Amino acid sequence: MSHRLRLLADFLHTVGMACTVVGDAERELVGVATLEDATPDEISFLANPKYEKALRTTSAGAVIVSNDQQIPEGLTALRTADPYAAITAVMVHIHGYRRHKPVGRSHDAVIDPSAVIGENANIHHGVTIEANVTIGKNVVLYPGVYIAENCRLGDDCVLYPNVVLYDGVILGDRVALHAGTVVGEDGLGYAPVGEKWQKIPQVGTVQIGNDVEMGSNCSIDRATLGRTVIADGTKFSNLVAIGHGTKIGENCMFVAQVGVAGSVHVGKHVILAGKAGVAGHLTIGDNAQLGAMAGLMKDIPAGMSFAGLPAIPIKDALRSFSLVERLPQLHKQIKRLEAQVEALRKALEAKDQEKKT
């Protein structure tokens, strides 16, 4: 299906994004692509000045740019205040989200008679649903999903292949869990008894709010007591691990390979970059950020950005990184100064010896 540029502009106006067409408003567009890959029937965007040069070589039929962005002569563009937000809206408008094939309830699924299944659920072959499970409307369960007893799933959830929910897990509405993610397994709860470790029963659960999405192979421990909580709107990339009893606030963003130990309190709209690690029993304030590969060993106040290992305020971390880059040069300078000091010492000793003689 094609979309005229002027109609895309009208659509953006309806969602609160004022915009202006420069060039061919009747241009027909069928998709969205990068500046490098776009063809004449696709629309692209420029949000990062780093890629400005690509405007001169792109074959895109139209490009969404900022209101003050200079563009080459003859390039059809759509000017708006926030190109990134605009292209996101256009992508949803043109491509929509992944569509799930309607399969109904497969005869090869194993569903306990006590389970309550909502309207229009799509349950693929190889799914197992245990006793006293409640599943909302329009839920999609792909092959290999296992849902243990007493779980509750809200409406419009999507569980991709081989997702596992241990007993008692609670999902809100519109939760998406990608392939291989496990929710509600036992946390690392062991008591030292002599030189051995005695397992502590993990009798809590996990509660996941509305509009949460997790990438593939994430792992969310159940609480020892009470609940591990992932609040509304939070998004995880792949390979994120959350320890038992941790509570994560609304609209957080955790990038791949983040690890958070147990009993951590994370505020709202917190961003943890790739491979960041957080020690147990810490507090991270609202709107805080932790840099890639950082190791956090103390609390982060609200609104602060930390980086490094151990993690420190980002301004201090950047100065430290700068010094690390200069270490080889500083080492050479120290060696030269040591040689000069040694030469001066020997010269002074020689003078002292001359005076004595």
- Which residues belong to the active site? 244
Output the six-digit token pair for 191: 């008591």
| Phi, psi (rounded to 5 degrees) for 95 | -100, -25
How far is residue 304's CA from residue 62's CA, in Å, rounded to a whole number?
A: 39
How far is residue 180's CA from residue 215's CA, in Å, rounded to a whole number?
A: 9
Question: What are the CB-based long-range contacts (under 8 Å, 24+) for 273-280?
Answer: 274/237, 280/243
Under a CB-based contact definition with an 8 Å cutoff, are residues 264 and 272 in contact? no
Q: At what angle do helices 314-325 and 327-356 cross, to 10 degrees?
A: 60
Question: What is the widest separation between alpha-carbon atoms in the chain?
Answer: 109
Sheet holding 259-260, edge to edge: 110-111, 128-129, 146-147, 164-165, 182-185, 219-221, 241-242, 259-260, 277-278, 295-296
